Amino acid sequence: MELKALIFDVDGTLADNERDGHRVAFNKAFAARGLDWHWDVATYGRLLEVFGGKERLKHYIENTLPADQRPDDVDAFVRAVHRDKTRHYTELLEAGTIPLRPGVERLLREARAAGLALAVASTTTPQNVATLMRANLGAAGEDFFDVVSAGDMVDHKKPAPDVYQRALAELGLSPGECLVFEDTQLGLASARNAGLDAIITVNDYTRDEDFNGALLVLDHLGEPDQPFTVLSGDAGGARWVDVDLLRGLHAARHA
Ligand code: XBP
């Protein structure tokens, strides 16, 4: 079986953007509405167990606020605040404050040159994916991926497999023809539930999670002048993730 596509999670994988991106945008949206809510780094880390910004905010309201402090129409309020938050997040991206992680741009360009299809499978909005890529790769970045499976395109967000199953359907490929890049235990579960193999690049929020079932766990994808550290699995002596390494891992997995 041949490796034909790479499928990337976005938040935490393409960019380390939760702590200083999404979290900051949520806090700006709360402050602009005169809400005295502030999600510090630790609080947001706990809230990240709920995938989806709207779902995360609804979870916070319903599990943190006394009933008499909750808005009458929680869903309408959540949608409105999430729209504000997305606007603030877009401003942070467009200000160039959220770079792609080490090795991401290099691997994307190498994979495209090698004829691999490129896809996204993310809980965030397609708009946020396009803005992140445009902010980092210029106008051509906006359409860099052949397939974007994201946000409310699916009914059930990660760790459900829906967003990965939709990416596979759009690619017209089977799970065995693809490899996934993720950063969280629940993201890995989503990929595995769709029958996909995954490589994990951890970040400060996810470093201590259980990545049992991953092909490889790394601190990042690496660059020739910034080699990765293997946290679990066998990279065969490689020092950065390139197409040759991925093809070797895929071949060994399907031998
Ligand atoms: C991570 C998420 C997203 C972001 C916030 O997505 O759970 O919800 O935290 O983005 P990924 P939105 O699947 O890329 O790891 O507010 O747009 O949902």
| Same domain? 230 vs 117 | yes
| Same domain? 35 vs 90 | yes
| Same domain? 130 vs 120 | yes
Q: Which atom of ligand 1 is nearest to the CA of 150?
A: 13
Range of the domain at 143: 5-16+100-253
What is the identity of the amino acid at 116?
L
Token output for 48 = 């990240």
Ligand 1: which of 8, 19, 20, 22 to mutate, most ligand atoms within 8 Å of CB? Answer: 22
Burial group, residue 159, by CB count within 10 angstroms (0-12, 13-18, 19+): middle
CA of residue 78 to ligand 1 center, whole Å: 15
Which of 94, 123, 141 is the endpoint of a domain? 94
| Same domain? 24 vs 9 | no
At 11, which CATH number? 3.40.50.1000
CA of residue 124 to ligand 1 center, whole Å: 4
Which of 28, 61, 94 is the endpoint of a domain? 94
**Element spanning 169, H or E:** helix 162-171
| Same domain? 141 vs 51 | no
| Same domain? 113 vs 219 | yes
> Given the DSSP bridges, would you call strands 117-122 and 216-218 parallel, antiparallel or unpaired?
unpaired
CA of residue 227 to ligand 1 center, whole Å: 28
Residue by residue, pLDDT tens for the chain (255 residues) are: 999 999 999 999 999 999 999 999 999 999 999 999 999 999 999 999 999 999 999 999 999 999 999 999 999 999 999 999 999 999 999 999 999 999 999 999 999 999 999 999 999 999 999 999 999 999 999 999 999 999 999 999 999 999 999 999 999 999 999 999 999 999 999 999 999 999 999 999 999 999 999 999 999 999 999 999 999 999 999 999 999 999 999 999 999
At 22, which CATH number? 1.10.150.240
Q: Which atom of ligand 1 is nearest to the CA of 122?
A: 13
Number of domains present in the structure of the chain: 2
Which of 69, 94, 119 is the endpoint of a domain? 94
DSSP assignment letter at 67? G
- The residue whose CA has the least distance to atom 15 of ligand 1 is 11
| Same domain? 142 vs 77 | no
Q: Which atom of ligand 1 is nearest to the CA of 9?
A: 14
Q: What is the three-class DSSP state of 240?
A: coil
| Same domain? 142 vs 248 | yes
| Same domain? 68 vs 182 | no
Is 11 an active-site residue? Answer: yes
What is the identity of the amino acid at 122?
S
| Same domain? 57 vs 129 | no
Q: Which atom of ligand 1 is nearest to the CA of 14?
A: 14
Ligand 1: which of 10, 11, 202 to mutate, most ligand atoms within 8 Å of CB? Answer: 11
- Is 203 a pocket residue for ligand 1 (Cβ < 6 Å)? no
- Is 124 a pocket residue for ligand 1 (Cβ < 6 Å)? yes
Token output for 146 = 């052949």
| Same domain? 135 vs 146 | yes
User: Contact, 203 vs 220, CB < 8 A?
Assistant: no
| Same domain? 106 vs 207 | yes
- Is 52 a pocket residue for ligand 1 (Cβ < 6 Å)? yes
- pLDDT per residue as tens digits for the range 107-119: 999 999 999 999 9
Ligand 1: which of 86, 93, 123, 186 to mutate, most ligand atoms within 8 Å of CB? Answer: 123
Is 9 an active-site residue? Answer: yes
